[in-house]
Amino acid sequence: MKLKISAKELRALGYPESPVIPVAMNVMEKHFKHHTKEEALDILKAVLQSPADYATHETLQSITEKLLPKVSPTGGDSEGAISLNKEGIHFNIFGRDQIEQGALHQMYSAAKLPVAVAGALMPDAHHGYGLPIGGVLATENAVIPYGVGVDIGCRMCLSIFDIDVKDLTQREAFFMRELGEATLFGSGAQFMHAEEHEVMDNKLFFEMPLLNNLHGRAWKQLGSSGSGNHFAEFGIIEVPATDATLNVPAGTYVGFLTHSGSRALGANIANHYTKLAISKRRLPQEAKHLAWLTLDEAEGMEYWLAMNLAGDYASACHHIIHNKIARQLGRKPITMVENHHNFAWKEMYNNKEVIVHRKGATPAGKNVLGIIPGSMTAPGFIVKGKGSAASINSASHGAGRKMSRTQAMANITHNALKEELAKHNVKLLGGGLDEAPFAYKDIEVVMQHQKALVDVVGKFTPKIVKMCGAETNRTRKKSEP
């Protein structure tokens, strides 16, 4: 049967209107006609989640070209163009042998920006758009929308419950059901009836036209999760010794961990202000997605306010999910740990206020808690920052990819994934080959490369994992379980 994908199905995934929808339909029906509709939609979800991963793909490139901001090519000598510095600022690289050349090249370009003050590259770094994922860049009075990223305020949130870990095995069906009820996965996922939360009453939604237009959809996506590497999972928490910062007695606990961001709200803010930045700052081709806005400009301050709102929105999504889980478990967590990445902060560096962009990097100031996950079968770690100036108070945000999504889907088999899950006694709900453990770097090696940046105060071992999958429902009548 000939593959046929409708515009309605693409909109349900979260694809914007023309011109990308007709292009995507044509590409899939022409080049993927022997795939099932389920397989084709999974590919389209992956492209929408991480268009940079497919920017040079032989057949999918034309879709990414319609998703990413457009800019007329300019050279350093063009009239009105901004030249990069010949010598970039120095930046430290952690785990250089683990980092691909594409990410290094992007960081070298960022280091040559006239507004760059300091930088660092984390051991989980890999190629992205604008700043590499795992890149940290401090600038003077300038914010770079693509230095923050598309999924603004994407974060980790962990609830630790004083529950016997044997329950995860003995009551597996219960925990699996609760994962399915707690949230919706998928790029276009939204509830038919909106959740209540004060973040939706923020005055910016009613004062800024862009945000006002996004308010309705954002409300219906409140408490949902994304696709790609976003997840919700139960696992075993091990706290080897009581730490004053974590404030949890040494012992073993049940943990509930989530990873997701600001949904369509953040993506629309990122793309809107990236286009504005590119129109105001004409950079050479290799740095065009590093265009910035200053906080002295109206557009720059608008982005700053919108970015912070998107971060608050992402946090609200996690808290809604965690509150549902706590209610169903009948327990309050003994503590929660939350940290975000894909964000920009005003911080002091060398006695001067700078804007620190952490695109896929965890804040790791002195005694600041965070979570660094591995993969669906590899452990994650609760960490406490050491406040290292060498990394601009940052650490990795995960293990980092060693295979692009395209490579993973082409080289990893379903049987191999099934065997790996069985080996680690992990139950997977949803998820695809692009997120298989083999697509990620070894988290233990990554952690070795940042021993000077963080102390480990706890360990999280996944046991029941929920991710976006082909069977994922994209709408639900009620947001309550």
Q: Which residues pair with 455 in a beta bridge?
A: 384
Q: Which of 49-63, 82-96, 256-270, 455-469 has the lowest mean pLDDT?
A: 49-63
Is residue 203 packed enough to be buried (19+ CB in 10 Å), middle (13-18) or exposed (0-12)? exposed
pLDDT score for 481:
31
Q: Which of 168-177, 203-212, 214-223, 467-476 has the lowest mean pLDDT?
A: 467-476
Confidence of residue 32 (pLDDT cuts 50, 70, 90): confident
Q: What percent of the chain has pLDDT over 90?
A: 72
pLDDT surpassing 70 at residue 1: no
Q: Which of 25-34, 105-114, 166-175, 200-209 has the lowest mean pLDDT?
A: 25-34
Residue 251 belongs to what H/E stretch?
Answer: strand 251-260
Q: Please, how many CA atoms are within 13 Å of residue 442, restricted to the half-sphere of its CB?
A: 7
Average pLDDT over residues 127-132: 89
Residue 101 belongs to what H/E stretch?
Answer: helix 101-111
SS3 content of the chain, % helix, strand, coil (to 5): 40, 25, 40
d(CA 339, CA 146): 20
pLDDT score for 121:
98
User: 475-476 and 190-191: which strand pairing?
Assistant: parallel
pLDDT score for 352:
95
Confidence of residue 470 (pLDDT cuts 50, 70, 90): very low
**Looking at residue 114, what DSSP letter applies?**
T
Average pLDDT over residues 94-120: 94
Give the three-class secondary structure for 441: coil
d(CA 123, CA 132): 12
Confidence of residue 29 (pLDDT cuts 50, 70, 90): confident
Amino acid, single-letter form, for residue 217 = R
Q: Which of 13-17, 177-181, 389-393, 411-415 has the lowest mean pLDDT?
A: 13-17
The residue with tokens 């929105």 is 313
Average pLDDT over residues 164-178: 96
Predicted TM-score (pTM) of the model is 0.84
Spatial contact of 420 and 437, defined as CB atoms under 8 Å apart? yes
Confidence of residue 79 (pLDDT cuts 50, 70, 90): very low
Structural domains of the chain in order of their starting residue, each with its CATH number = 7-67 (no CATH), 155-260+313-336+365-476 (3.90.1860.10)
Spatial contact of 340 and 129, defined as CB atoms under 8 Å apart? no
Q: Which of 43-57, 198-212, 325-339, 406-420 has the lowest mean pLDDT?
A: 43-57
Is residue 378 packed enough to be buried (19+ CB in 10 Å), middle (13-18) or exposed (0-12)? buried
Give the helix ranges, DSSP H, for 183-335. 204-207, 209-221, 263-280, 298-329
Of the candidates 124, 325, 336, 362, which has an alpha carbon nearest to the alpha carbon of residue 232?
325
Average pLDDT over residues 399-424: 92
Average pLDDT over residues 273-282: 94
pLDDT surpassing 90 at residue 395: yes
Average pLDDT over residues 180-188: 89
Q: What percent of the chain has pLDDT over 70?
A: 94
Is residue 53 packed enough to be buried (19+ CB in 10 Å), middle (13-18) or exposed (0-12)? buried
Spatial contact of 322 and 159, defined as CB atoms under 8 Å apart? yes
Is residue 351 packed enough to be buried (19+ CB in 10 Å), middle (13-18) or exposed (0-12)? exposed
Mean pLDDT of the chain: 91
CA 354 to chain centre: 23
Q: How many CB atoms lie within 10 A of CB 11?
A: 13
Give the three-class secondary structure for 200: helix
Q: How many CB atoms lie within 10 A of CB 70?
A: 9
Of the candidates 225, 220, 218, 228, which has an alpha carbon nearest to the alpha carbon of residue 257?
225
Q: Which two tokens stand for residue 356?
A: 């620190």
Residue 116 belongs to what H/E stretch?
Answer: strand 116-126
Spatial contact of 210 and 272, defined as CB atoms under 8 Å apart? yes
pLDDT score for 75:
36
Confidence of residue 18 (pLDDT cuts 50, 70, 90): low
Confidence of residue 80 (pLDDT cuts 50, 70, 90): low
- Annotate 331-383 with DSSP letters as a single string: ---SEEEEEE-SEEEEEEETTEEEEEEEESEEE--TT-EEEE---SSS-EEEE
